[in-house]
Structure 1
């Protein structure tokens, strides 16, 4: 049986929950900046900027640990229920999703450093577009989570298809370059890897948007869409 909380305890919980949301936004901003920097380093052929992305992973990892500890403390001290419980549990999941996005930024930085030591395959058009879409999906998914905006979360889900199409387009185009000139194979493979990593960034943003929908509705839409899943 859950003991009713006093107004003072409830106020403290709400304050801690708001602080948790702010820290998640800080985490999201740091991760989004990593994605922005790494795409920029590829476009500008900037070794130093790619190296900055590699160096920026440790602060994100430390932030992940801090946020997880905040979530566990909220669960232990306040034993939230219903929407509040979903908010805290989803925060743990979202924190993990963001950390994985940071890892993908590092993977892209490593591919970028390899790519910059090889001949350029072609002018980069679709990969920067993928970066822009992925960044906006991240930003909007976190805003949907914080503001509990189901409509915005659904928009993020729908944008994932555009990212998938661009990834497929990049693959087909780069494959044609490899077939025409074998000396470009390694460079083209690094660009293909980059496009796949950016597509995975979009997948994680989609996962965050799904958590936003779960918080508001109590429905798990990961496999069923908005018309299915669990209800309260």
Structure 2
């Protein structure tokens, strides 16, 4: 197992506990759960970014290999999902836990599910890319690129909020979901008109409609992740708009470029990497 730069101390304590046959402390087990979640988040974002890069550059030979790379990451993501579930169950077996630790475990289980689903959707998106590359002349709708940027920004912000426990950043993700929905609607309307007037574009049009559906679902899971982070850190249930009064005020942005530029460089956070 390879280590991130800041996880050496944590893993050293874990090895020492194992070597002396001492039980792992609750704190160490929580650290391990968090490290696993960070690692899975990194891997899922990597798969998603490859799929996003591929869908917006269908004619670029330099991105032809990206779908295959997404497919190769799927087994690793599935393995991580199982490991994280098992770690959370171990923690729950410890018995009475402080409220914040219990919230972390519950949120961790939900985060794990949403991350795995984003990984699945990255695979679905990569499959659309493979199909579209076999259709000469398939022209992407002009709204696709900004939609991809908006989705990329939402996922990056939600994962950044996970690393930094930043409730304000998570709140911005919740405010941004409507942006993606608007792009989805515009693309659907454009493709419907195109398929109605040009029957030869039906095959590619359907692929783009499916692709936008995958993008919308990725954004939905990013929203779920943001909600779970708020629950973990603040103990607020903001699903379906509940409890929003407990969040710090933040400005709603309708500009996907602004959304993406707000993302923090969370990639330097310490983590454990599965091999």
> Which bracket does the TM-score occupy, shorter chain normalised?
0.7 to 0.9
TM-score normalised by the chain length of structure 1: 0.87
- CA distance 1:49–1:87, change in 2 (3 Å): same
Q: CA RMSD in A?
A: 2.1
1:73-112 equivalence runs, <5 A: 73-77=90-94, 79-112=96-129
* Matched residue SS, 1:188: helix
Of 129-138 and 91-100, the range deviating more from structure 2: 129-138
- CA distance 1:123–1:146, change in 2 (3 Å): closer
* Alpha-carbon distance in 2 for matches of 1:38, 1:57: 12
Counterpart selection for 1:203 from 220, 228, 234: 220
What 5-or-longer segments of structure 2 have no aligned partner?
A: 1-21, 247-275
The answer to whether the 8 A contact 2:140-2:208 is kept is no
Instruction: Verify: 1:134 aligned to 2:151, yes or no.
Output: yes
Counterpart selection for 1:113 from 130, 136, 140: 130
Counterpart selection for 1:218 from 227, 235, 253: 235
Offset of residue 228 of structure 1: 7.4
Offset of residue 98 of structure 1: 0.4
- CA distance 1:26–1:129, change in 2 (3 Å): farther
1:58-69 equivalence runs, <5 A: 58-69=75-86
Deviations 1:167-189 (A, max 9, x none): 11111111222122110101011
Offset of residue 44 of structure 1: 2.9
* Alpha-carbon distance in 2 for matches of 1:57, 1:92: 19
Tell me how many residue pairs correspond in the alignment.
220
The answer to whether the 8 A contact 1:119-1:184 is kept is no
* Matched residue SS, 1:54: helix
Offset of residue 166 of structure 1: 0.8
1:163-174 equivalence runs, <5 A: 163-174=180-191
Offset of residue 56 of structure 1: 1.6
Counterpart selection for 1:25 from 35, 38, 60: 38
Counterpart selection for 1:40 from 40, 50, 53: 53
Offset of residue 130 of structure 1: 2.2
* Alpha-carbon distance in 1 for matches of 2:244, 2:69: 43
Deviations 1:134-183 (A, max 9, x none): 22222221332343322111100001111111111111111222122110
Offset of residue 20 of structure 1: 1.7
TM-score normalised by the chain length of structure 2: 0.74
- CA distance 1:186–1:212, change in 2 (3 Å): same
* Alpha-carbon distance in 1 for matches of 2:75, 2:202: 32
Aligned counterpart, 2:25: 12
Of 40-49 and 170-179, the range deviating more from structure 2: 40-49
